[in-house]
Amino acid sequence: MVTREQVIEALRDVKDPEVGRSIVELDMVPSVEIEGGKVTVDVLLTIRGCPLSNVIEREIRERLSQLEGVTEIEVRVGHMTDEQRAQFAAKVRGMGRANAEAQQAELPPILREQGRQFLAIASGKGGVGKSTVTANLAVALARKGYRVALIDADIYGFSIPVIFGIEGVKPATIEDLIMPVQAEGVKIMSMQFFVPENTPVVWRGPMLGKTLRSFFGQVHWGDVDIVLLDLPPGTGDVALDVHTLLPQSKQLIVTTPQAAAAEVAVRAGLMGVRTNHQVIGVVENMAYFVCDSCGETAYLFGRGGGERVAAALNTTLLAEIPIANQEKERAGIFSAESLHGQVFAKLADRVAEAMGLAQNRELRA
C-alpha cells in the first residue's frame, strides 16, 4: 500500500507554474488522505478561478499515478483565505531571500542572484526599431532554451506588449508580489499592464527610478538567465537610472543605416562606455530589403551606419536586420522559419556568446 510519505514525496515535484516552487514547500497541500488504493489530495490555490488550476491538477495526477498501489486519485481544489495568501506571499519572498547573500540584502532580489546577466538595449534616435529588435532577440534566446526576462523600461512609449500582442493582459498578483506575463517563452513586465487604457502617462523624474526599482523588487521573476531591458530612446533619466541600478549591465546598440541615426547611436553608446558598461555590439535594423519576386537585395536607406557605429564604439556589428514587408507580415514577433526569425536566431547566438550564457547553461546541466 502507498504511504503518506510517498505521496508527499511525489507531490514535492509538482511546482506552482507561476512561482516555480514545489506546492508542498509552499504549503499548498493542507491534507492528504489515503484509503486503500485511493488517494485524496487537497490543494489550495491563491486565487479563485486561477487559470493554472488545471495545470496543477494534471501534474498531481501524473505524479501520483506513477506510484505503485495507487488505483484512484481525487484532487480537491480549494482557495486560500486572505491570511493564507499573505503567508504564501511572505514565503515566496523568503525563499528568494534565502538564496541571497547576506551582504547584498538591501538589493532587490533580481539583482542579487549570481549568474544572471543584464543587457540594456539602447538607441540614440527613436523609431529605429529598438523595441522590435529587443522583443525578437528575447524570443530568439528563449527558442534556444535560455530563460529570458524582458523589462519594458521605455515607460513613455511602452510598445513591448503591442509587439507581443498582449496589450490587454493583466499580470497576476499575489498580495504585493507581481507575476510577469509570459508570452513566446519570455517573462515580460511593462508599465503598460498597469495603466488604464487611453490614459496618457505623465511621469516626473523620480517616478521613473521608482517604477524601475519596483519592477526589479516586486516582480517575482523566478530563475532567469538573462534580463533584456528596452530603454527609451536617447540618453535621458531612465538610461541613467539603469546604469546606476545595474552597474554590471551590458549594452547593445540599435541603429539604422542612415548617418543621422548612426551619429546619435554613437552618443548613446558612449554614455554606456563612460559609465563602465561594456557595449557587446551593434545591430543595424532596416538594413536592406529582399525583393519577394526577384530575390534581389536593395539597400534602401544606404549602407554602413551599423559598421560606423561599431567602429566608433570599438565593438562589432552583430547583425543586419532586413526590412520587413509590413503588408505581408506585421513587424511583431517573427516566426522561427521566416528570414527575420533566422537572422534573429543568429543574433541570439552571438549575444549568448558575448554574455557568456552558453557557459551558464552548461553549468546548470
Ligand X SMILES: Nc1ncnc2c1ncn2[C@@H]1O[C@H](COP(=O)(O)OP(=O)(O)OP(=O)(O)O)[C@@H](O)[C@H]1O
Query: What's the chain's Rg over C-alpha atoms?
Result: 23
Q: Is 129 annotated as a binding residue?
A: yes
Widest CA span of the chain, in angstroms?
Answer: 77
Residue nearest to ligand X (CB): 126
78 appears as a binding residue in the annotation:
no
Q: Which is nearer to Mg ion, 125 or 130 (CB)?
A: 130
Question: What length does the chain have?
Answer: 365
Residues whose CB is less than 8 angstroms from the CB of residue 167 and which lie 6 or more positions away in sequence, other chains included: 161, 192
Closer by beta carbon to Mg ion, 159 or else 249: 159
> Is 187 annotated among the ligand-binding residues?
no
Q: At what angle do helices 237-245 and 259-274 cross, to 10 degrees?
A: 40
Q: Which of ligand X, Mg ion, none is residue 128 near (CB under 5 to 8 Å by kind)?
A: ligand X
What is the closest distance, in whole angstroms, from the C-beta atom of residue 131 to Mg ion in the complex?
Answer: 3
CB of 115 to ligand X, least distance (A): 29
Q: Which residues here bind Mg ion, judged by CB under 5 A?
A: 130-131, 154, 157, 159
Q: Least distance from C-beta 137 to ligand X, angstroms?
A: 11
Provide the minimum distance between the beta carbon of 217 and ligand X in the complex, in angstroms, as a whole number: 25
Residue type, 11: L
Quote the distance between the C-alpha of residue 77 and its chain's center.
Answer: 30
Nearest by Cα to 88 from 42, 45, 32, 43:
45
Binder of residue 136, out of Mg ion, ligand X, none (CB less than 5 to 8 A by kind): none
Instruction: Identify which of residues 163 and 177 has a Cβ nearer to ligand X in the complex.
Output: 163
The Cα–Cα gap between 269 and 44 comes to 49
Which partner in ligand X, Mg ion, none is near 305 (CB below 5 to 8 A by kind)? Answer: none
- The smaller minimum CB distance to Mg ion, of residues 157 and 341, is found at 157
**Closest alpha carbon to 177 in 49, 46, 12, 57:** 46
Least separation, in Å, of the C-beta of 248 and Mg ion? 24
304 is in an annotated binding site: no
145 binds, among ligand X, Mg ion, none (CB under 5 to 8 A by kind): none
Q: Which is nearer to Mg ion, 88 or 193 (CB)?
A: 193
Provide the pairing of β-strand 173-174 with 177-178.
antiparallel
- Sheet of 148-152: strands edge to edge? 181-183, 186-190, 148-152, 226-230, 117-122, 250-255, 279-284, 317-320
CB of 254 to ligand X, least distance (A): 7
Q: Which is nearer to ligand X, 118 or 158 (CB)?
A: 158
How buried is residue 125: exposed, middle or buried, by Cβ count under 10 Å (0-12/13-18/19+)? buried
Closest CA to 177 of 291, 60, 77, 85: 85
Selection from Mg ion, ligand X, none that 129 binds (CB < 5 to 8 A by kind) is: ligand X
Cell 534556444: give the residue: 144
Q: Which residues bind ligand X (CB under 6 A)?
A: 123, 126-132, 154, 157, 159, 233, 285-286, 321, 323-324, 326, 331
Residue 132: name its binding partner from Mg ion, ligand X, none (Cβ under 5 to 8 Å by kind).
ligand X
Distance of alpha carbon 320 from alpha carbon 318, whole angstroms: 7
Compare residues 199 and 326 and give the one whose CB is closer to ligand X.
326
Nearest alpha-carbon partner for 241 in 266, 275, 280: 275
Q: Is 127 annotated as a binding residue?
A: yes
Residue positions forming the annotated binding site: 124-131
Residue positions forming the annotated binding site for ATP: 124-131
